[in-house]
């Protein structure tokens, strides 16, 4: 299904206006600096000329002789009529931002305070998602009302509204908590995500909705059509009702048991439907692997090979709560991240407190029209949990710099040391060490 809702287009418009306003302000500042410099130079020159007196030699023309031609004539050797310029065809470059798991727990819910306002929790990292051309993350929880937190893994609507205001576009809901509160919980979660101006990935309220959507979502950004598919390994042992088996995209036929039998038929049918749309790029969001475990299973490798051979350009994983290996083939433009780690969670277990926000560069060739991933980068982030203070997500490099510079709102020395260690581990994990 092509996702071109008014809310999505409005966010694109507002984001563009904000970026253009920043550029205008930067241009005004540059012009002010230039005018000030010119004025200063003029004053210096004036003073210099006055101090020299009338004996100063007449200024010599710096215009080259061949340019000082009679008005209406051209310098010798210049054939104006023969100079033709082909129209410049530019490439289109966009950026896709992706974050890992947002886990709905008691402490995560409490980060919003009594007003359930999550602005502060995401303030330091929100722009990384909002400034991208399209952004996505994985929500491990439901929107089913009170009680909030870990009992029913229910998030307040204000949390997803904050994500929408930050500029998040897509929310992966195909994960362990898709049907934690039954099919009605799935339906209300889908409605809540859309009410916040975002589009859910990998889940559907009914079989009819799945058939209508085809199991995928297409987003068009600056003329580039990106198809998103999302799958989960399972739903924490729960199974879908017989008449709703298509409501969640699942990777395995034995998804309620051992996760050994890859459902190539289901995966292939969705990718075949995507292929008929002829998108410029295909991104697969996968909730897979084992929790708190670095091991990459043989079935994960099989899935990767199948997806890449079926035309998937980027595979972005979640679920393990750890940052895991990333690979990129610049020749083919294929990217793989086994897991981005936890975007926001309790940070209770070592390794789950740090993760990354991914930035994929996507380029569409202006001449050939071909599109592929041309590079990637990432920003290391850390969930700060200090005493009874609300949880917040911080950029590691910038937070460490603030500590070193002695800022008033700096983190504690203990958090600084954990961030220092986290940077080393992130690098090692991404490189598969």
Average pLDDT over residues 359-363: 98
Tokens of 136: 């996505």
Q: Where do the H-state alpha helices sit in 53-117?
A: 106-110
3-state secondary structure 266-331: HHHHHHHHHHHHCCCEEEEEEECCCCCCCCCCHHHHHHHHHHHHCCCCEEEEECCCCECCEEEECC
The region that residue 237 occupies, defined by phi over 0 for left and psi between -120 and 50 for alpha, beta otherwise, is left
pLDDT score recorded for residue 230: 98
- pLDDT band (50, 70, 90) for residue 69: very low
pLDDT score recorded for residue 176: 97
- Angle (CA) 141-428-424 rounded to 5° is 90
Average pLDDT over residues 345-363: 96
CA distance 192 to 158: 10
The answer to whether 335 and 328 are in contact (CB under 8 A) is: yes
Q: Calculate the average pLDDT of the chain.
A: 88
pLDDT score recorded for residue 81: 46
**Helix-helix angle 413-430:396-404, to 10 degrees:** 150
- pLDDT band (50, 70, 90) for residue 64: very low
3-class secondary structure, 334: strand
CA distance 317 to 232: 10
pLDDT score recorded for residue 68: 44
Which range has the worst mean pLDDT, 65-79, 99-113, 232-246, 361-375?
Answer: 65-79
Q: CA separation (Å) from 258 to 194, 267, 288, 289?
A: 33, 18, 12, 12
pLDDT score recorded for residue 223: 95
- pLDDT band (50, 70, 90) for residue 83: low
- What are the phi and psi torsion angles at 36 (to 5°)? -65, -40
Dump pLDDT digits (tens) for 256-267: 999 999 999 999
Dump pLDDT digits (tens) for 367-415: 999 999 999 999 999 999 888 899 999 999 999 999 999 988 889 999 9
Peptide bond into 76 cis (omega under 30): no
Classify each residue of 123-162 as buried b or exposed e, where b means 16 or more C-beta atoms within 10 Å of its C-beta: ebbbebbbbbbbbbbbbbbbbbeeebbbebbbbbeebbbb
Dump pLDDT digits (tens) for 176-200: 999 999 999 999 999 999 999 999 9
- Angle (CA) 302-200-282 rounded to 5° is 45
pLDDT score recorded for residue 10: 64
Which range has the worst mean pLDDT, 51-65, 110-124, 315-329?
Answer: 51-65
Dump pLDDT digits (tens) for 232-285: 999 999 999 999 999 999 999 999 999 999 999 999 999 999 999 999 999 999
Average pLDDT over residues 122-137: 97
Say whether pLDDT at 288 is over 90.
yes
pLDDT score recorded for residue 107: 96
Percent of the chain at pLDDT exceeding 70:
83
* Four-point Cα dihedral 326, 383, 348, 420, nearest 10: 70
The answer to whether 352 and 341 are in contact (CB under 8 A) is: yes
pLDDT score recorded for residue 409: 80
Dump pLDDT digits (tens) for 6-59: 555 665 566 556 555 545 665 666 667 676 667 777 777 777 767 665 554 444
Residues in contact with 224: Cβ distance below 8 Å, sequence separation at least 6, in sequence order: 92, 94, 280, 281, 362, 364, 371
Q: Which H/E stretch holds residue 158? A: helix 157-166
CA-wise closest residue to 412 among 433, 373, 372, 382: 382
Name the one residue in this structure whose structure tokens are 């709703």: 244
């Amino acid at each position: 299904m092509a996702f071109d809702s008014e809310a999505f287009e409005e966010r694109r418009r507002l984001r563009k206006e904000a970026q253009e306003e920043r550029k205008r302000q930067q241009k005004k500042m540059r012009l002010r600096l230039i005018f000030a410099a010119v004025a200063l130079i003029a004053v210096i020159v004036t003073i210099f000329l006055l101090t020299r007196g009338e004996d100063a030699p007449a200024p010599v023309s710096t215009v080259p002789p061949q340019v000082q031609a009679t008005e209406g004539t051209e310098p010798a050797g210049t054939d104006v009529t023969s100079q033709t310029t082909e129209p410049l065809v530019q490439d289109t470059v966009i950026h896709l931002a992706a974050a890992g798991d947002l886990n709905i727990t008691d402490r995560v819910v409490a980060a919003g305070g009594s007003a359930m306002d999550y602005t502060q929790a995401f303030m330091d990292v929100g722009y990384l998602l909002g400034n991208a051309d399209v952004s996505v993350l994985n929500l491990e929880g439901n929107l089913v009302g009170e009680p909030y937190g870990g009992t029913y893994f229910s998030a307040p609507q204000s949390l997803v509204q904050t994500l929408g205001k930050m500029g998040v576009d897509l929310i992966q809901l195909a994960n362990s908590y898709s049907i934690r509160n039954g099919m009605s919980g799935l339906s209300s979660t889908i409605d809540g995500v859309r009410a916040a101006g975002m589009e859910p990935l990998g889940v559907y309220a009914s079989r009819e909705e799945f058939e209508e959507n085809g199991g995928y979502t297409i987003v068009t950004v600056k003329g580039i059509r990106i198809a998103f598919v999302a799958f989960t390994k399972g739903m924490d042992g729960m199974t879908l009702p017989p008449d709703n088996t298509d409501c969640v995209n699942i990777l395995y036929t034995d998804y309620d048991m051992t996760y050994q039998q890859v459902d190539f038929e289901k995966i292939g049918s969705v990718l075949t439907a995507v292929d008929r749309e002829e998108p410029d790029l295909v991104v697969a969001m996968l909730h897979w692997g084992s929790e708190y475990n670095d091991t990459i299973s043989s079935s994960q490798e099989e899935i990767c090979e199948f997806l890449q051979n079926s035309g998937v350009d980027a595979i972005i994983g979640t679920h393990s709560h750890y940052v895991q290996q990333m690979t990129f083939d610049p020749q083919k433009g294929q990217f793989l991240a086994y897991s981005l780690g936890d975007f926001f969670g309790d940070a209770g277990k070592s390794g789950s407190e740090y993760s990354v926000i991914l930035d994929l560069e996507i380029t569409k060739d202006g001449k050939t029209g071909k599109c592929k991933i041309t590079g990637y980068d990432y920003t290391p982030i850390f969930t700060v949990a200090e005493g009874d203070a609300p949880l917040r997500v911080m950029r590691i490099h910038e937070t460490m710099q603030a500590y070193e510079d002695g800022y008033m709102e700096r983190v504690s020395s203990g958090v600084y040391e954990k961030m220092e260690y986290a940077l080393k581990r992130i690098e090692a994990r991404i490189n598969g060490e």
